[in-house]
Amino acid sequence: MKVVDHIREANGKTLFSFEILPPVKGESVQNIFDAIDPLMEFKPPFIDVTYHREEYMYKKRENGLLERVTTRKRPGTVGICAAILNKYGVDPVPHIICGGFNKEETENALIDLDFLGVENVLVLRGDAIKSEGRFEPDPEGHSYASELMDQVLELNQGIYLHDEVTRNPTNFSIGVAGYPEKHFEAPSLKSDMKYLKLKVDKGAEYIVTQMFFDNDKYFEFVGKCRANGINVPIIPGLKPITTLKHMSLLPSIFHVDLPDALVDELEKCKSNAEVREVGIEWCIHQSKDLMERGAPVLHYYTMSKSKVVKRIAEALF
């Protein structure tokens, strides 16, 4: 079932969902089940599975020189979606990204997902390779999420690459990302909003936001979206802070601000155990407010560690 249909069926009740990461190459799918099992009691109607581009690593050759090799540390998104469908009967939402993929590879992944009966995709651009400063599209790939959407939309009409005739149409519902605090590369929120609207006008049926720690930012963003004619559901993405390192890591990686009141509380903590308690309390507080004010879904970034999100969900669902 499509994410938007789950939202429609819930009839105003806030749903619970979360995102997991494929395990590092060589690890077992049991890691994923261990992350999902404790959260199943909260009845997630859908579970997102991230997609990961290649990374560079350097291997020492016999002659002592370093050789750059390309590796994908977290493969397996499509297989994990199949595992989620089989084991839990829950709708998986694979993320599909531009970065590191050519159109042919993307089409093959979409064909596999279609054969599995997956009906949702979250379409994203992806970030730059870790060792490179700015995003470079694959020469045979897409530069923006909206371009990648075009490929999915064509498949939904039965238009495959290099084919003259139309064939079996896929049936993907598309979600896209939105940034309450602006995407870090966008010159202004207005410009970012213009491209978000482009994605929605093309057919994105819902938006999932980047994490935020100040609900006012989410509600201001929703207000601006509505003022700009973006009327699809906007699902807030939430991440509980669990370590002191998050104080500097989250702003630098995700380009988000932490509110003063949260930073003040975190600075009083003497251990990560104390930080975790503050992070959980903050996230529960955020979640309750979002629920009361009608958020359609609360979507948690678990990083495949479910203990903390379980404690939050217990307080809410």
Q: Which residues bind ligand FAD (CB under 6 A)?
A: 50-51, 53, 95, 97, 124-127, 144-146, 177, 183, 185-186, 191-192, 195, 208, 210, 237
Question: In what helix (H) or strand (E) does residue 298 lie, and over which residues does it extend?
Answer: strand 297-301
CB closer to ligand FAD out of 145 and 230: 145
Minimum separation from the CB atom of position 211 to ligand FAD (A): 8
Minimum separation from the CB atom of position 148 to ligand FAD (A): 8
User: What does the buried/exposed string (b/e) look like for 19-45 if buried means 16 or more CB atoms within 10 Å of the residue's CB?
Assistant: bbbbbeeeeebeebeebbeebeebebb
DSSP 81-107: HHHHHHHH-PEEEEEEESTT--HHHHH
CB closer to ligand FAD out of 186 and 269: 186
Strand residues in 179-230 grouped as ranges (E): 206-211
User: Dihedral sign, CA of 134, 138, 143, 148?
Assistant: negative
Residues labelled as active-site residues = 19
Torsion on CA atoms 103, 2, 225, 213, rounded to nearest 10 = -90
CB closer to ligand FAD out of 125 and 276: 125
CB closer to ligand FAD out of 79 and 169: 79
Minimum separation from the CB atom of position 21 to ligand FAD (A): 8
Residue 230 burial (10 A CB sphere; 0-12, 13-18, 19+): buried
Minimum separation from the CB atom of position 89 to ligand FAD (A): 23
